[in-house]
A = this chain, B = another copy of it.
Amino acid sequence: LEAFRAVELIARKRDGGALGRAELAFLVEGYLHGGVAEGQMAAFLMAGVLRGFTHDEALALADILVDSGERLDLSRLPGPTVDKHSTGGVGDGTTLLVGPLLASAGAQLVKLSGRGLGHTGGTLDKLEAIPGFRTELDPDELLRIVGEVGCAVAAQSERLVPADRVLYALRDVTATVASPALIASSVMSKKLAAGAATIVLDVKAGDGAFMPTAEAARELAALCVEIGTGAGRRCVALVTAMEQPLGRGIGNGLEVAEAVQLLGAAPEASRLGALALELATEGLATATGEALDAARARLRDLWNSGRARERLARMVEAQGGDPRVCEDPAGVLPAAPVVRQVTAGGSGHVARLPARAVGEIAGRLGAGRQRKEDPVDPAVGLELAVEVGDTVDAGTVVATVHARSEQDADWAGDRLRDILVLSGEPVPRPPTILDRVGGAS
Protein backbone atom coordinates (compact mmCIF):
# COMPACT_ATOMS: atom_id res chain seq x y z
CA LEU A 1 0.00 0.00 0.00
CA GLU A 2 2.78 2.42 0.98
CA ALA A 3 4.84 1.52 -2.09
CA PHE A 4 1.78 2.15 -4.23
CA ARG A 5 1.26 5.53 -2.61
CA ALA A 6 4.90 6.48 -3.24
CA VAL A 7 4.51 5.61 -6.95
CA GLU A 8 1.43 7.82 -7.18
CA LEU A 9 3.24 10.75 -5.56
CA ILE A 10 6.27 10.32 -7.84
CA ALA A 11 3.97 10.17 -10.87
CA ARG A 12 2.24 13.38 -9.81
CA LYS A 13 5.55 15.24 -9.58
CA ARG A 14 6.68 13.66 -12.88
CA ASP A 15 3.54 15.10 -14.48
CA GLY A 16 4.19 18.57 -13.05
CA GLY A 17 1.83 18.46 -10.07
CA ALA A 18 2.45 19.63 -6.51
CA LEU A 19 2.45 17.68 -3.24
CA GLY A 20 1.06 18.72 0.12
CA ARG A 21 3.05 18.74 3.34
CA ALA A 22 1.75 15.34 4.51
CA GLU A 23 2.61 13.79 1.16
CA LEU A 24 6.15 15.23 1.18
CA ALA A 25 6.56 14.08 4.79
CA PHE A 26 5.39 10.58 3.78
CA LEU A 27 8.18 10.42 1.18
CA VAL A 28 10.99 11.98 3.26
CA GLU A 29 10.18 10.11 6.47
CA GLY A 30 9.53 6.91 4.52
CA TYR A 31 12.96 7.22 2.94
CA LEU A 32 14.58 7.93 6.31
CA HIS A 33 12.84 5.16 8.26
CA GLY A 34 11.86 2.62 5.57
CA GLY A 35 8.80 2.20 3.36
CA VAL A 36 10.09 4.42 0.56
CA ALA A 37 12.98 2.91 -1.43
CA GLU A 38 16.15 4.73 -2.47
CA GLY A 39 15.08 4.44 -6.11
CA GLN A 40 11.70 5.99 -5.35
CA MET A 41 13.23 8.96 -3.55
CA ALA A 42 15.80 9.44 -6.34
CA ALA A 43 13.11 9.30 -9.05
CA PHE A 44 11.06 11.83 -7.07
CA LEU A 45 14.05 14.15 -6.67
CA MET A 46 14.86 13.99 -10.40
CA ALA A 47 11.22 14.67 -11.29
CA GLY A 48 11.36 17.67 -8.94
CA VAL A 49 14.61 18.96 -10.43
CA LEU A 50 13.09 18.85 -13.93
CA ARG A 51 9.48 19.83 -13.11
CA GLY A 52 10.18 22.20 -10.24
CA PHE A 53 8.64 22.62 -6.82
CA THR A 54 6.17 25.27 -5.69
CA HIS A 55 7.11 27.74 -2.95
CA ASP A 56 4.68 25.94 -0.64
CA GLU A 57 6.52 22.69 -1.32
CA ALA A 58 9.88 24.34 -0.52
CA LEU A 59 8.50 25.69 2.78
CA ALA A 60 7.04 22.30 3.65
CA LEU A 61 10.30 20.51 2.79
CA ALA A 62 12.33 22.80 5.07
CA ASP A 63 9.82 22.21 7.87
CA ILE A 64 9.94 18.42 7.37
CA LEU A 65 13.76 18.42 7.43
CA VAL A 66 13.80 20.44 10.68
CA ASP A 67 11.25 18.07 12.22
CA SER A 68 13.50 15.09 11.50
CA GLY A 69 15.93 15.98 14.31
CA GLU A 70 16.68 18.09 17.37
CA ARG A 71 16.75 21.90 17.51
CA LEU A 72 19.13 24.19 19.35
CA ASP A 73 17.38 26.17 22.09
CA LEU A 74 18.90 29.68 22.14
CA SER A 75 16.30 31.13 24.52
CA ARG A 76 18.77 31.49 27.40
CA LEU A 77 21.20 33.67 25.42
CA PRO A 78 21.13 37.32 26.55
CA GLY A 79 21.26 39.31 23.27
CA PRO A 80 19.55 39.08 19.90
CA THR A 81 20.59 35.87 18.14
CA VAL A 82 21.91 36.04 14.58
CA ASP A 83 23.00 33.31 12.17
CA LYS A 84 24.91 33.88 8.98
CA HIS A 85 25.22 31.58 5.99
CA SER A 86 27.17 31.76 2.75
CA THR A 87 26.36 29.44 -0.14
CA GLY A 88 30.11 28.97 -0.57
CA GLY A 89 32.85 30.56 -2.58
CA VAL A 90 36.58 31.09 -2.88
CA GLY A 91 38.43 33.25 -0.37
CA ASP A 92 35.17 33.75 1.50
CA GLY A 93 36.31 34.27 5.09
CA THR A 94 33.37 36.53 6.03
CA THR A 95 32.32 34.37 9.00
CA LEU A 96 35.69 35.03 10.70
CA LEU A 97 34.88 38.77 10.51
CA VAL A 98 31.08 38.91 10.87
CA GLY A 99 30.91 36.73 13.99
CA PRO A 100 33.32 38.74 16.19
CA LEU A 101 31.97 42.02 14.78
CA LEU A 102 28.35 41.19 15.68
CA ALA A 103 29.46 39.86 19.06
CA SER A 104 31.25 43.13 19.77
CA ALA A 105 27.93 44.91 19.10
CA GLY A 106 26.09 42.76 21.64
CA ALA A 107 24.49 40.26 19.29
CA GLN A 108 24.97 36.47 19.62
CA LEU A 109 26.20 34.46 16.67
CA VAL A 110 25.79 30.67 16.96
CA LYS A 111 27.36 29.31 13.81
CA LEU A 112 27.20 25.69 12.74
CA SER A 113 29.57 25.27 9.82
CA GLY A 114 30.75 22.74 7.29
CA ARG A 115 34.01 21.73 5.70
CA GLY A 116 35.36 22.63 2.28
CA LEU A 117 34.69 20.43 -0.73
CA GLY A 118 35.94 20.77 -4.30
CA HIS A 119 37.05 24.31 -5.09
CA THR A 120 35.29 25.96 -2.12
CA GLY A 121 36.69 26.37 1.37
CA GLY A 122 34.97 25.60 4.68
CA THR A 123 34.98 27.68 7.86
CA LEU A 124 35.81 24.68 10.09
CA ASP A 125 38.95 23.91 8.06
CA LYS A 126 40.05 27.54 8.27
CA LEU A 127 39.64 27.84 12.04
CA GLU A 128 41.31 24.47 12.61
CA ALA A 129 44.45 25.95 11.02
CA ILE A 130 44.86 27.67 14.40
CA PRO A 131 46.76 25.23 16.67
CA GLY A 132 44.43 23.74 19.29
CA PHE A 133 41.19 25.11 17.85
CA ARG A 134 38.28 22.70 18.51
CA THR A 135 35.12 22.73 16.39
CA GLU A 136 33.50 19.61 17.88
CA LEU A 137 31.44 21.26 20.59
CA ASP A 138 28.37 19.75 22.22
CA PRO A 139 25.31 22.04 22.47
CA ASP A 140 25.96 22.98 26.12
CA GLU A 141 29.56 23.99 25.47
CA LEU A 142 28.61 25.85 22.30
CA LEU A 143 25.92 27.89 24.09
CA ARG A 144 28.18 28.54 27.08
CA ILE A 145 30.89 30.00 24.82
CA VAL A 146 28.39 32.12 22.88
CA GLY A 147 26.99 33.36 26.18
CA GLU A 148 30.47 34.40 27.34
CA VAL A 149 32.04 35.62 24.08
CA GLY A 150 29.05 36.43 21.86
CA CYS A 151 30.07 34.08 19.05
CA ALA A 152 31.26 30.52 18.42
CA VAL A 153 31.71 28.28 15.40
CA ALA A 154 31.04 24.55 15.71
CA ALA A 155 30.66 21.56 13.42
CA GLN A 156 27.11 20.80 12.33
CA SER A 157 25.66 18.36 14.88
CA GLU A 158 24.61 14.92 13.65
CA ARG A 159 21.45 15.29 15.72
CA LEU A 160 20.20 18.31 13.79
CA VAL A 161 18.33 17.76 10.48
CA PRO A 162 19.38 14.11 9.93
CA ALA A 163 16.98 13.91 6.96
CA ASP A 164 18.90 16.68 5.23
CA ARG A 165 22.16 14.73 5.46
CA VAL A 166 20.55 11.56 4.13
CA LEU A 167 18.79 13.39 1.30
CA TYR A 168 21.87 15.40 0.40
CA ALA A 169 23.98 12.24 0.18
CA LEU A 170 21.44 10.81 -2.29
CA ARG A 171 21.21 14.05 -4.29
CA ASP A 172 25.00 14.18 -4.51
CA VAL A 173 25.24 10.81 -6.34
CA THR A 174 22.08 11.16 -8.45
CA ALA A 175 22.71 14.55 -10.12
CA THR A 176 19.73 16.05 -8.29
CA VAL A 177 21.48 18.82 -6.36
CA ALA A 178 20.52 21.60 -8.80
CA SER A 179 17.01 22.54 -7.68
CA PRO A 180 16.33 25.93 -6.06
CA ALA A 181 13.68 24.44 -3.78
CA LEU A 182 15.89 21.53 -2.69
CA ILE A 183 18.87 23.83 -2.11
CA ALA A 184 16.83 26.45 -0.26
CA SER A 185 15.03 23.93 1.94
CA SER A 186 18.34 22.24 2.76
CA VAL A 187 20.12 25.52 3.62
CA MET A 188 17.21 26.90 5.60
CA SER A 189 16.45 23.69 7.49
CA LYS A 190 19.92 23.90 9.05
CA LYS A 191 19.43 27.57 9.94
CA LEU A 192 15.94 26.98 11.38
CA ALA A 193 17.15 24.03 13.49
CA ALA A 194 20.10 26.13 14.75
CA GLY A 195 17.55 28.45 16.32
CA ALA A 196 18.67 32.05 15.65
CA ALA A 197 15.89 34.67 15.44
CA THR A 198 17.67 36.54 12.64
CA ILE A 199 19.25 34.88 9.60
CA VAL A 200 21.64 36.68 7.22
CA LEU A 201 22.33 34.95 3.93
CA ASP A 202 25.14 35.60 1.48
CA VAL A 203 24.09 34.00 -1.80
CA LYS A 204 27.01 33.89 -4.20
CA ALA A 205 26.66 34.24 -7.96
CA GLY A 206 29.20 33.59 -10.69
CA ASP A 207 32.04 31.40 -11.86
CA GLY A 208 33.13 30.22 -8.42
CA ALA A 209 29.63 29.86 -6.95
CA PHE A 210 26.97 27.21 -7.05
CA MET A 211 24.60 29.61 -8.79
CA PRO A 212 26.14 30.75 -12.08
CA THR A 213 24.07 33.90 -12.61
CA ALA A 214 22.83 36.77 -10.45
CA GLU A 215 19.25 35.95 -11.48
CA ALA A 216 19.55 32.33 -10.32
CA ALA A 217 21.18 33.50 -7.08
CA ARG A 218 18.44 36.08 -6.56
CA GLU A 219 15.76 33.41 -7.04
CA LEU A 220 17.48 31.18 -4.49
CA ALA A 221 17.90 34.10 -2.06
CA ALA A 222 14.22 35.03 -2.34
CA LEU A 223 13.15 31.45 -1.73
CA CYS A 224 15.43 31.17 1.33
CA VAL A 225 14.08 34.42 2.75
CA GLU A 226 10.53 33.24 2.09
CA ILE A 227 11.19 29.96 3.92
CA GLY A 228 12.81 31.75 6.86
CA THR A 229 10.08 34.37 7.11
CA GLY A 230 7.41 31.67 6.76
CA ALA A 231 8.97 29.91 9.76
CA GLY A 232 8.75 33.10 11.84
CA ARG A 233 12.37 34.26 11.55
CA ARG A 234 13.73 37.62 10.48
CA CYS A 235 15.59 37.09 7.26
CA VAL A 236 17.77 39.09 4.89
CA ALA A 237 19.92 38.01 1.96
CA LEU A 238 22.61 39.71 -0.08
CA VAL A 239 23.39 38.41 -3.57
CA THR A 240 27.14 38.86 -4.04
CA ALA A 241 29.67 38.39 -6.81
CA MET A 242 31.85 35.27 -6.90
CA GLU A 243 33.51 35.78 -10.29
CA GLN A 244 36.90 36.43 -8.68
CA PRO A 245 37.89 35.30 -5.17
CA LEU A 246 36.43 37.52 -2.45
CA GLY A 247 39.50 37.70 -0.24
CA ARG A 248 43.17 37.66 -1.19
CA GLY A 249 44.09 34.65 0.90
CA ILE A 250 42.98 31.30 -0.57
CA GLY A 251 43.89 28.49 1.81
CA ASN A 252 42.99 27.73 5.40
CA GLY A 253 45.73 29.39 7.49
CA LEU A 254 46.18 32.15 4.90
CA GLU A 255 42.51 33.11 5.26
CA VAL A 256 42.80 33.27 9.06
CA ALA A 257 45.86 35.51 8.71
CA GLU A 258 44.00 37.74 6.28
CA ALA A 259 41.02 38.05 8.64
CA VAL A 260 43.29 39.12 11.49
CA GLN A 261 45.02 41.62 9.22
CA LEU A 262 41.73 43.07 7.93
CA LEU A 263 40.37 43.52 11.47
CA GLY A 264 43.37 45.80 12.04
CA ALA A 265 42.61 48.00 9.01
CA ALA A 266 39.60 49.99 7.81
CA PRO A 267 36.79 47.59 6.80
CA GLU A 268 36.06 49.33 3.51
CA ALA A 269 39.70 49.13 2.35
CA SER A 270 39.10 45.60 1.00
CA ARG A 271 36.27 43.83 -0.80
CA LEU A 272 36.20 41.11 1.88
CA GLY A 273 36.14 43.65 4.73
CA ALA A 274 33.48 45.77 3.05
CA LEU A 275 31.20 42.77 2.47
CA ALA A 276 31.69 41.52 6.02
CA LEU A 277 30.70 44.97 7.32
CA GLU A 278 27.57 44.95 5.14
CA LEU A 279 26.54 41.44 6.18
CA ALA A 280 26.99 42.35 9.85
CA THR A 281 25.09 45.61 9.28
CA GLU A 282 22.17 43.78 7.67
CA GLY A 283 22.16 41.24 10.49
CA LEU A 284 22.28 43.81 13.26
CA ALA A 285 19.66 46.10 11.71
CA THR A 286 17.34 43.18 11.01
CA ALA A 287 17.80 41.78 14.53
CA THR A 288 17.39 45.06 16.43
CA GLY A 289 15.21 47.17 14.16
CA GLU A 290 18.02 49.77 14.10
CA ALA A 291 18.40 51.84 10.89
CA LEU A 292 21.00 50.45 8.47
CA ASP A 293 23.11 53.62 8.54
CA ALA A 294 23.20 53.69 12.34
CA ALA A 295 24.05 50.00 12.56
CA ARG A 296 26.79 50.39 9.95
CA ALA A 297 28.32 53.36 11.74
CA ARG A 298 28.28 51.54 15.09
CA LEU A 299 29.89 48.42 13.59
CA ARG A 300 32.51 50.45 11.71
CA ASP A 301 33.53 52.08 15.00
CA LEU A 302 33.75 48.67 16.73
CA TRP A 303 35.91 47.38 13.88
CA ASN A 304 38.21 50.39 13.81
CA SER A 305 38.61 50.42 17.60
CA GLY A 306 39.97 46.86 17.60
CA ARG A 307 36.98 45.53 19.57
CA ALA A 308 36.05 43.06 16.85
CA ARG A 309 39.58 41.66 16.66
CA GLU A 310 39.63 41.33 20.44
CA ARG A 311 36.36 39.38 20.20
CA LEU A 312 37.95 37.03 17.64
CA ALA A 313 40.85 36.40 20.04
CA ARG A 314 38.41 35.58 22.86
CA MET A 315 36.50 33.15 20.63
CA VAL A 316 39.73 31.42 19.54
CA GLU A 317 40.80 31.06 23.18
CA ALA A 318 37.37 29.79 24.30
CA GLN A 319 37.48 27.12 21.60
CA GLY A 320 40.96 25.92 22.64
CA GLY A 321 43.03 27.80 20.06
CA ASP A 322 46.06 29.99 20.59
CA PRO A 323 44.72 33.58 20.86
CA ARG A 324 48.13 35.06 19.98
CA VAL A 325 47.09 34.31 16.38
CA CYS A 326 45.32 37.70 16.54
CA GLU A 327 48.56 39.51 17.38
CA ASP A 328 51.09 37.53 15.34
CA PRO A 329 49.44 35.24 12.79
CA ALA A 330 52.72 34.26 11.13
CA GLY A 331 54.19 33.23 14.48
CA VAL A 332 51.25 30.97 15.35
CA LEU A 333 49.91 29.55 12.07
CA PRO A 334 51.78 26.71 10.34
CA ALA A 335 54.10 27.78 7.50
CA ALA A 336 54.50 26.05 4.14
CA PRO A 337 58.05 24.90 3.26
CA VAL A 338 58.05 26.70 -0.09
CA VAL A 339 56.88 30.31 -0.43
CA ARG A 340 57.34 31.88 -3.81
CA GLN A 341 56.19 34.98 -5.63
CA VAL A 342 54.48 34.72 -9.01
CA THR A 343 54.91 37.58 -11.46
CA ALA A 344 52.73 38.61 -14.39
CA GLY A 345 53.80 37.30 -17.79
CA GLY A 346 52.95 40.55 -19.58
CA SER A 347 51.44 43.94 -19.00
CA GLY A 348 47.80 45.03 -19.06
CA HIS A 349 44.68 45.37 -16.96
CA VAL A 350 43.39 42.40 -14.94
CA ALA A 351 40.13 41.45 -16.69
CA ARG A 352 39.46 38.02 -15.12
CA LEU A 353 40.82 36.02 -12.21
CA PRO A 354 38.30 33.16 -12.25
CA ALA A 355 37.35 32.12 -8.72
CA ARG A 356 36.77 28.44 -9.48
CA ALA A 357 40.16 27.96 -11.13
CA VAL A 358 41.91 29.84 -8.30
CA GLY A 359 40.10 27.65 -5.76
CA GLU A 360 41.15 24.56 -7.67
CA ILE A 361 44.82 25.64 -7.62
CA ALA A 362 44.68 26.08 -3.85
CA GLY A 363 42.87 22.76 -3.57
CA ARG A 364 45.54 20.95 -5.55
CA LEU A 365 48.24 22.54 -3.43
CA GLY A 366 46.57 20.68 -0.52
CA ALA A 367 44.22 23.30 0.91
CA GLY A 368 41.07 21.52 -0.28
CA ARG A 369 39.63 18.06 -0.61
CA GLN A 370 38.02 16.08 -3.41
CA ARG A 371 36.31 13.62 -1.07
CA LYS A 372 34.79 14.25 2.35
CA GLU A 373 37.31 11.99 4.09
CA ASP A 374 40.44 13.67 2.63
CA PRO A 375 42.68 15.68 5.03
CA VAL A 376 43.51 19.33 4.30
CA ASP A 377 46.86 21.11 4.74
CA PRO A 378 46.45 24.29 6.84
CA ALA A 379 49.62 25.95 5.53
CA VAL A 380 49.31 25.90 1.73
CA GLY A 381 47.46 28.10 -0.72
CA LEU A 382 47.69 31.40 -2.54
CA GLU A 383 47.90 35.03 -1.50
CA LEU A 384 46.66 37.12 -4.39
CA ALA A 385 48.31 40.51 -4.87
CA VAL A 386 45.98 41.78 -7.61
CA GLU A 387 42.28 41.83 -8.39
CA VAL A 388 40.07 42.60 -11.37
CA GLY A 389 40.62 46.21 -12.48
CA ASP A 390 44.28 46.39 -11.36
CA THR A 391 47.05 47.28 -13.82
CA VAL A 392 50.17 45.10 -14.05
CA ASP A 393 53.46 45.04 -15.94
CA ALA A 394 55.61 42.04 -16.82
CA GLY A 395 57.34 41.36 -13.51
CA THR A 396 54.60 42.71 -11.24
CA VAL A 397 53.98 40.27 -8.38
CA VAL A 398 50.44 38.93 -8.85
CA ALA A 399 50.46 36.33 -6.06
CA THR A 400 52.50 34.45 -3.50
CA VAL A 401 52.29 30.66 -3.59
CA HIS A 402 52.57 28.66 -0.35
CA ALA A 403 53.38 25.08 -1.35
CA ARG A 404 54.65 21.77 -0.01
CA SER A 405 57.30 21.40 -2.72
CA GLU A 406 59.17 23.33 -5.43
CA GLN A 407 57.32 21.21 -7.99
CA ASP A 408 53.92 22.20 -6.58
CA ALA A 409 54.97 25.85 -6.55
CA ASP A 410 56.13 25.66 -10.19
CA TRP A 411 52.85 24.13 -11.22
CA ALA A 412 50.72 26.62 -9.28
CA GLY A 413 52.61 29.63 -10.64
CA ASP A 414 52.27 28.44 -14.24
CA ARG A 415 48.62 27.64 -13.76
CA LEU A 416 47.89 31.01 -12.15
CA ARG A 417 49.53 32.85 -15.07
CA ASP A 418 47.40 30.71 -17.44
CA ILE A 419 44.08 31.66 -15.87
CA LEU A 420 44.87 35.35 -15.27
CA VAL A 421 43.27 37.24 -18.16
CA LEU A 422 44.83 40.62 -19.03
CA SER A 423 43.19 43.22 -21.27
CA GLY A 424 44.72 46.06 -23.27
CA GLU A 425 41.84 48.30 -22.22
CA PRO A 426 41.23 49.58 -18.67
CA VAL A 427 38.82 47.29 -16.76
CA PRO A 428 36.26 48.76 -14.31
CA ARG A 429 36.18 47.30 -10.80
CA PRO A 430 33.10 45.09 -10.59
CA PRO A 431 30.60 45.53 -7.73
CA THR A 432 30.58 42.96 -4.91
CA ILE A 433 26.96 43.33 -3.80
CA LEU A 434 24.57 42.63 -6.67
CA ASP A 435 21.20 42.53 -4.95
CA ARG A 436 19.41 42.45 -1.61
CA VAL A 437 16.30 40.53 -0.56
CA GLY A 438 14.21 40.94 2.61
CA GLY A 439 15.58 42.46 5.80
CA ALA A 440 15.06 45.86 7.41
CA SER A 441 13.56 48.52 5.17
- Chain A interface residues (CB < 8 Å from chain B): 3, 6-8, 10-11, 14, 37-47, 49-51, 170, 172-176
Contact = CB atoms under 8 A, between A and B. Distances in A.
Contacts of A170: 39
A30 to B, nearest CB: 12
Contacts of A38: 37-39, 42
Given A14-B175, A50-B50, A175-B10, A43 B40 contact: no
A358 to B, nearest CB: 23
Interface centre among A8, A14, A42, by most chain B C-beta atoms within 10 angstroms, is: A42
A43 B6 contact: no
20 contacts: A3-B173, A14-B49, A37-B38, A37-B173, A38-B39, A38-B42, A39-B41, A39-B174, A40-B174, A42-B42, A42-B43, A42-B46, A43-B43, A43-B45, A43-B174, A44-B46, A46-B46, A46-B50, A47-B175, A50-B50
Nearest to A6: B173
Contacts of A10: 46, 174-175
A176 B7 CA distance: 9
Given A47-B50, A51-B50, A175 B42 contact: no
Contacts of A41: 39
Contacts of A7: 172-175
A139 B51 CA distance: 46
Nearest to A176: B43
Contacts of A46: 10, 14, 42-44, 46-47, 50
Contacts of A49: 14
A348 to B, nearest CB: 36
A42 B3 CA distance: 15
A355 to B, nearest CB: 22
Interface centre among A14, A45, A172, by most chain B C-beta atoms within 10 angstroms, is: A14
B173 A39 contact: yes
A49 B174 CA distance: 15
A39 B10 CA distance: 14
A-B pairs, 8 with minimum CB distance = A39-B42, A43-B174, A11-B175, A46-B46, A10-B175, A38-B39, A42-B43, A43-B46
